[in-house]
């Protein structure tokens, strides 16, 4: 066999390209999929089928087995950790999916070469798994070249979202992956259908928590709920998880239906099975630049237009947002107080929508100017001169917050007389923000507050 191979040449050229660019490789990198595909082809080239008549062998078989075969040797603990992560993952169900998840994890943790080195240390195992004439890993010279290239790969920084793994069984081309934290509520506002082991969103209620700002849309696939994988979930799984975590902010991960404004291929197949039409999928228009209106109110700390303060950032937001805080790590927003309404023993999202709608009738006569302060553990409502605190509500007392789509500047939050999970009497506090963006940021901040205060109580 020749001491060169086209796959190794392609891999070497690609590594050189990555090294010259000197930038971290993330999931948006156009060359990432090519790199993973080449590595997979090298792993599969000359691989013997040792699975018998009823099962197919893939490279993950020997990678996972190499940990146990080398039990008497000192195996790299990070490599062991990576193989355990793949073995325990509920998101990949096939040998192909597990192998691909391993490659992505190993790129991030820089242990791809460890697997090949373990294989090459035992010639007997190498002969069991690979044909020495047609493979790269079964050839002494080519495998050494491959290992040297894998060492070069460790010099490249990979920033990959390893949670985005549920479609690796089918393809290297992964969907857009979003993580959200929604306010506590009894009804997220969407209907799902279980198809081919996926939890497909087939409808979203307008004005619901899920629909706000386009977080979840028709055709999206729910991937995780409270960090629990929904791959191959049964029909009662979602409701069961929500009941177990009632009263807590809802942590949700979603495989988006759209990628580059086109329907993602594997999800399109699910839409066909669900009899959903293309016109039911909302194509997002390109966003226009942020408004250039001048900021004049000195109460509001200002940085770049359109930026969010750090307390308002959600997992789905970009990490390069610029923090905008007051001198004591607090944020202040001028608001108009509209009403305080007793809502009984229910403090969910539905009550907010109903109360805001009812109070819009007499709304113009009930405006009181206040200053709303968002702290680390509480929300304060005070006079504009900051001399008197009118309301003080800890995040643990707030059961829900939100706004209606027909009055986007109007927002409200509901709080109980004690921690919201055990409170029996709830009041809804309604305000008007200076802008739609301010209302959104305030609601995001309160939502983040739910999570932060778990470290204080």
Which DSSP string corresponds to 63-106?
HHHHHHHTTTS---HHHHHHHHHHHH-SS--SHHHHHHHHHHHH
- What is the per-residue burial (b if ≥16 Cβ within 10 Å, else e) of 36-45? bebbbebbbb
Question: Residues with Cβ < 8 Å from 55, sequence gap 6 or more?
Answer: none
CATH architecture, domain defined by 327-454: Roll (2.30)
Please state the CATH superfamily assignment of the domain spanning residues 177-280 in this structure.
PDZ domain (2.30.42.10)
Cα angle at 229 between 224 and 233, to 5 degrees?
110
- Using a cut of 0.75, tell me whether the model's pTM lies above it: no
pLDDT tens-digit profile, the chain (457 residues): 456 789 999 999 999 999 998 889 999 999 999 999 999 999 999 998 865 555 678 999 999 888 766 544 677 888 988 999 999 999 999 999 999 999 999 999 999 999 999 888 888 888 888 988 889 999 889 999 999 999 999 999 999 999 999 999 999 999 999 998 888 877 888 888 998 899 999 988 888 888 887 889 899 999 999 989 999 988 788 888 988 888 788 889 999 999 988 899 999 999 988 888 776 676 554 444 333 333 222 222 323 333 344 334 443 443 333 233 333 344 788 999 988 888 888 877 778 888 887 776 555 555 789 999 887 778 999 998 888 899 999 888 888 888 887 788 889 999 988 887 788 889 999 999 988 888 888 888 787 776 544 333 3
Question: What is the model's pLDDT at position 75?
Answer: 78
Task: Supply the angle between the helices 112-121 and 59-69 in degrees, to the nearest 10.
Answer: 70
C-alpha pair distances (Å), 52 with each of 46, 134, 401: 17, 21, 58
Contacts of 2 (CB under 8 A, 6+ apart): none
Closest CA to 69 of 29, 26, 133, 117: 117
Contact call for residues 107 and 160 (beta carbons, < 8 A) = yes
Domain ranges in the chain are 6-155, 177-280, 327-454
Phi, psi dihedral angles at 296 (to 5 degrees): -120, -20
Identify the three-state secondary structure at position 396. helix
Distance CA 375, CA 398 (A): 14
Question: Which long-range CB contacts under 8 A does 416-424 form with residues at least 24 apart?
Answer: 416/347, 419/457, 420/184, 420/247, 420/347, 420/396, 421/246, 421/247, 423/347, 423/397, 423/399, 424/345
List, as one string, the DSSP characters of 312-331: G--TTS-TTPPP---TTS-E
CA atoms within 13 A on the CB side of 324: 20
pLDDT given at position 365: 53
What sign for the dihedral angle of Cα 25, 28, 32, 36? positive
CA distance 5 to 141: 11
pLDDT at 12: 94
The tokens 């983040």 sit on which residue? 448
Query: Which of left, alpha, beta for 261 (phi over 0: left; psi -120 to 50: alpha)?
Result: left
* CATH architecture classification, 6-155: Up-down Bundle (1.20)
Q: Is there a contact between 427 and 420 (Cβ–Cβ < 8 Å)?
A: no
């Amino acid at each position: 066999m020749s001491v060169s191979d086209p796959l190794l040449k392609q891999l070497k050229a690609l590594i050189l390209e990555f090294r010259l660019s000197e930038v971290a490789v993330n999931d948006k990198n156009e060359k990432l999929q090519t790199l993973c595909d080449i590595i997979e082809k090298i792993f599969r080239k000359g691989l013997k089928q040792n699975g018998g008549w009823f099962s197919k062998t893939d490279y993950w078989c020997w990678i996972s087995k190499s940990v146990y075969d080398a039990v008497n040797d000192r195996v790299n603990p990070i490599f062991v950790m990576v193989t355990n992560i793949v073995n325990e993952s509920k998101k990949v169900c096939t040998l192909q999916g597990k192998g691909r998840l391993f490659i992505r994890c190993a790129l991030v943790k820089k242990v791809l070469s460890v697997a090949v080195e373990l294989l090459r240390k035992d010639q007997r195992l190498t002969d069991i798994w690979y044909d020495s004439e047609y493979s790269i890993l079964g050839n002494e010279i080519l495998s050494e070249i491959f290992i040297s290239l894998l060492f070069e790969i460790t010099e490249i920084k990979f920033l990959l979202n390893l949670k985005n793994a549920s479609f690796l069984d089918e393809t290297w081309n992964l969907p857009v992956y979003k993580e959200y934290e929604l306010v506590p509520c009894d009804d997220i506002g969407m209907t799902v259908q279980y198809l081919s082991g996926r939890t497909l969103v087939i409808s979203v209620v307008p004005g619901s928590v899920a629909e706000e700002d386009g977080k979840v849309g028709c055709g999206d696939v729910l991937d995780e709920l409270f960090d629990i994988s929904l791959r191959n979930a049964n029909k009662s799984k979602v409701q069961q998880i929500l009941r177990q975590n009632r009263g807590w902010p809802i942590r949700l991960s979603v495989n988006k239906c759209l990628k580059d404004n086109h329907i993602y291929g594997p999800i399109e197949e699910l839409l066909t099975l669900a009899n959903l039409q293309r016109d039911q999928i909302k194509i997002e228009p390109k966003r226009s630049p942020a408004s250039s209106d001048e900021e004049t109110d000195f109460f509001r700390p200002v940085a770049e237009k359109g930026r969010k303060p750090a307390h308002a950032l959600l997992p789905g937001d970009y990490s390069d947002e610029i923090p905008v805080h007051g001198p004591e790590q607090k944020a202040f927003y001028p608001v108009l107080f509209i009403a305080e309404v007793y809502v009984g023993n229910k403090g969910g999202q539905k009550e907010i929508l109903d109360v805001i709608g009812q109070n819009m009738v007499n709304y113009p006569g009930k405006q009181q100017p206040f200053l709303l302060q968002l702290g680390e553990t509480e929300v304060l409502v005070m006079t504009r001169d900051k001399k008197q605190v009118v309301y003080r509500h800890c995040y643990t007392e707030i059961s829900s917050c939100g706004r209606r789509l027909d009055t986007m500047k109007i927002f409200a939050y509901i709080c109980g007389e004690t921690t919201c999970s055990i409170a029996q009497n709830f009041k809804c506090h309604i305000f008007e923000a200076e802008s739609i963006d301010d209302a959104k940021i305030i609601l995001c901040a309160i939502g983040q507050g739910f999570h932060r205060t778990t470290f204080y109580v």
